Structure 1
Amino acid sequence: MMNKLKYTGMVLSLLGITFISLNFKTLDKVKGYPFLKIGHRGTRGMMPENTIPSMTKAVEFGSNVVELDVHISKDGQVVVYHDDSFDPNYTLMPDGSEIDPKTRNNYIFYQMNYADIKPFVIGTKKYKPYPLQQNVATYTPLLAELVDSVDRYTKVNKLPKVYYLVEIKADEKKDGINQPAPAEFVKRVMDALAPKKLGDRLIIQSFDKRQLKEVHKSYPKVATGFLIGDAKISVSQHLADMGFTPTFYNPHYSVITAEFMKECHDKKMLVCPWTVNDKADMKRMLNLKVDGVITDFPNYLSEVLK
């Protein structure tokens, strides 16, 4: 398909015809990406988040990208979980009892070995914000294990390989307590993924610019994405602070306007807003020519894209 598109473009150029507009897929194809249907924490709306069942369900629902969050354990393993400690709202103790919220700091991943992390139970406690989540007893996986499982799932089911949008969760104030410094954090992640040979199927994103600077410096061929929650600081200022232009600039969907999209596209960045769960909002994002959508409900996105 790409060769056909390139050939068509060459013919039209020879005829003096120039494209002057973009549909919501064109820029992505120029960059080498398809339109990105991104399952947020897998299929958070339907399955226990950041687990292997959540990721494979996202692929089943049509996602070509699975998004996930990573932390480092005391013994240097890369674990997949959103917060840097167990969330009592949807995680139980190994014996199935409740986690006392007052003791949450006893369960910071960077202060626990993975052998002590894995037995905690995810998926059997009803998570009130997502009443459609299936009850599936599962656990906090390792990043490498998750990638192996998802790639195996796509192969067995004769599906295209997916991209991995890996968010490095970090807070500058917590270095040495809840996470290692950026150089070690990034190296741990990349070392875990090196045997997988993901190539351009890997995208590293973060709210923490330090992590992205480290990726850009040490692994310049790896695609990066900068996350923002609001537009209080301009795009230009953020880029100046980073000292380079990331591949992706991924804001909360409330930030997206036609002007914002033009600015990002003019700077050759792709834009994938988060977390878009309403079908009407998905349609609005598509009309604004986003390059992908991050959603807890990839099944809804697949319906909108039909």
Structure 2
Amino acid sequence: MTGTGSEPVAVAATEPPTPDVSTAPGRPWWRRKRYRFGIVLVLVAGYVYAVNSSWLAGDPGEGPGVLAHRGVAQTFDVAGVGDDTCTAEIIHEPAHGYLENTLPGIRAAFDAGAEVVELDVHITADGQFAVFHDWEVDCRTEGSGTTRDFTMAELKRLDVGHGYTFDGGETFPFRGKGVGMMPSLTEVLAEFPVERLLIHVKSDDPAEGEALAEYLSTVDEKRVENLTVYGGDRPIAALRERMPDLRVMSKEIMTDCLLRYEVMAWTGMVPDACHHTQLHIPEGYAPWLWGWPVRFAERMAEVDTVVVLVAGDGGFSEGFDSADSLDRIPDGFTGLVWTNDVTEIAPLLSGR
């Protein structure tokens, strides 16, 4: 071939296109590249589903147990309650004579069927631990000031039923009936030597965590095995450093555990951050957990971690406190259910 001139025009040789071997005729479909990724994706999805599916987990065993908040106590509407609300002034009309955080109230909770009773502690002026909910004594007693202002003996002289009213102050049904009823932690542990207790450190003072560790180190090891302590990040960190074998929980510990769990637990593995602790799981968040409810509870039990289901979004002391609320507890859940009304809830759960 020539152009218009005298010199021949070179024509570049063209190579035939390389055939696409992933779609070449005769190649098995399952070996074609465009299908391989889909196959791997399906296999991974199937594995994740099988590992985390509760209905494939088999019989989960016994149903949920009950965690009684403050023992048997006077109930109140938690809606709108904040940290500074005096709940003694908003109780429902009393249906029984028990007061929170007292020996009779704790005993009544276990008698009603509670597996665990939660109680609150504050350090006193003489270095003991008083079992009492409030930072200040003004709401429930005739006294004034913080628990730290008083020795344990002085707190014993106060009337813990003084401030309770259900009718806006028209009547005070427990006034004069609570003198001497604020127990020390020592008295509680002596009265309940084997029962499971959840101790709430109400302050955020690391020195209080250190003091509690000092005290618990003198308690029989077998007794300590049935205790869990939770509270502010700083006192719990101090407590954990001194007593690494004690089961503890704080917001920091729980957040660290659950974030790591969400990242890796699709494989069925449980991060070390979730070992030997306690988790309070709000029911609104629970369905987002890998393997909820059966697989999740099983995994935590295997690493010696207690799972507690709390109502709502985990706000102020929200619990499963009515028969209707129990319908929201998922089938197969085997952890603990938080309640403010153990006398009603425990019998209903035992019959499920």
> TM (normalized to structure 1)?
0.66
CA separation of 1:270/1:149 partners in 2, compared to 1, >3 Å: closer, same or farther? Answer: closer
- What runs of 5+ residues in structure 2 fail to find an aligned partner? 1-54, 76-95, 264-271, 311-318
Distance 2:221 2:191 in 1: 12
Pairs aligned (count): 243
Measured after TM superposition, the shift of residue 255 of structure 1 is 3.9
What are the residue-to-residue correspondences of 1:195-206 with 2, within 5 Å? 195=220, 197-206=222-231
Distance 1:285 1:303 in 2: 15
CA separation of 1:127/1:22 partners in 2, compared to 1, >3 Å: closer, same or farther? Answer: farther
Distance 1:271 1:134 in 2: 37
What are the residue-to-residue correspondences of 1:271-282 with 2, within 5 Å? 271-274=307-310, 275-282=319-326
RMSD: 3.7
Deviations 1:90-140 (A, max 9, x none): x232xxxxx5xxxxxx511122222221111112543439xxx98453422
Identity over aligned pairs, percent: 19
Distance 2:158 2:152 in 1: 11
Runs of 4+ in 1 over 6 A off after TM superposition: 237-240
Match of 2:243 in 1: 219
Q: Which amino acid aligns with 2:166?
A: K
Match of 2:8 in 1: none
Match of 1:41 in 2: 70
Measured after TM superposition, the shift of residue 280 of structure 1 is 2.3
Instruction: Find 1:114's aligned residue among 125, 145, 152.
Output: 152
Q: Which amino acid aligns with 1:123?
A: G
- What runs of 5+ residues in structure 1 fail to find an aligned partner? 1-18, 27-33, 94-98, 100-105, 152-160
Deviations 1:148-184 (A, max 9, x none): 2234xxxxxxxxx42011111122xxx4xxxx62552
- Aligned residue for 1:86, secondary structure, equals coil
CA separation of 1:122/1:68 partners in 2, compared to 1, >3 Å: closer, same or farther? Answer: same
**Given that residues 257 and 273 in structure 2 are in contact (C-alpha distance below 8 angstroms), is that contact kept between their aligned partners in structure 1?**
no
- Aligned residue for 1:68, secondary structure, equals strand
What are the residue-to-residue correspondences of 1:1-306 with 2, within 5 Å? 20-21=56-57, 25=61, 35-44=64-73, 45=75, 46=96, 47-88=98-139, 91-93=140-142, 106-128=144-166, 135=174, 136-138=177-179, 139-151=181-193, 161-171=194-204, 175=205, 181-191=207-217, 194-195=219-220, 197-206=222-231, 208-226=232-250, 235-236=258-259, 244-245=273-274, 246-257=276-287, 259=289, 261=292, 265=297, 268=303, 269-274=305-310, 275-287=319-331, 289=333, 291-305=335-349, 306=351
Indicate the larger mover: 275-284 or 257-266: 257-266
CA separation of 1:126/1:199 partners in 2, compared to 1, >3 Å: closer, same or farther? Answer: closer
Measured after TM superposition, the shift of residue 86 of structure 1 is 1.1
Considering fraction of residues, name the structure with more helix.
1
Deviations 1:50-106 (A, max 9, x none): 111110110121112111011101110011111222141xx232xxxxx5xxxxxx5
Larger Rg: 2
